Amino acid sequence: MADINVNVYTGRIGTDIELKMTAGKEPVAVATFPLAVERPKAKGAERAETDWLDMVAWRSTAEFCSKYLSKGRKVTVHAITRTRTWEEKETGKKRKAVEFHITNIVPADAKPQGSENGAPQAFAPPAADFTDIGNDEDLPF
């Protein structure tokens, strides 16, 4: 049986979303941003603590995030955990980063004021084998 690597978070986007394209023959869109997720308030504490999680979105999900989401927006994110390691060129020191690669993201707040075209209520990239059935009036359910 395969291990399970599933994370679901609701939090606020901490900065403006940075959209980049990878280098190479066929560039791929990638977006990154920190997600602020509050922990439950500890007994007797004045305020809850916040964890800042590094989010990464690829391809159409990255483009969706860049187009429809911005700093301060509340979102629900489904993601998988990925660990990235590298060695610093200057010092030779080994480094590690834990990132959360988004598989689905849903706005969890109202459309911002002054926004002429709001985000769809949910977004998940279509599966590779997706076929649109068109008019669904003939379906038995």
CATH of the domain at 59: 2.40.50.140
Residue 138 lies inside a defined structural domain of this protein: no
Residue 75 lies inside a defined structural domain of this protein: yes
- DSSP structural state of residue 48: -
Residue 115 lies inside a defined structural domain of this protein: no
- Would you give per-residue pLDDT tens digits along the chain (141 residues)? 789 999 999 999 999 999 999 998 999 999 999 999 999 888 888 888 999 999 999 999 999 999 999 999 999 999 999 999 999 999 999 999 999 999 999 999 987 655 555 544 445 556 666 666 566 565 555
H/E run at residue 64: helix 59-68
- DSSP structural state of residue 47: S
Residue 112 lies inside a defined structural domain of this protein: no
Say if CB 9 and CB 81 are below 8 A apart: no
Overall domain count for the chain: 1
Quote the CA–CA distance of 34 and 99 in Å, as a whole number. Answer: 10
Residue 132 lies inside a defined structural domain of this protein: no
Residue 130 lies inside a defined structural domain of this protein: no
Structural domain that includes position 89: 7-37+49-107
Q: Which two tokens stand for residue 16?
A: 């403006």
Residue 85 lies inside a defined structural domain of this protein: yes
Q: Provide the phi-psi class of 44: left if phi over 0, else alpha when psi is between -120 and 50, else beta.
A: left
Residue 42 lies inside a defined structural domain of this protein: no
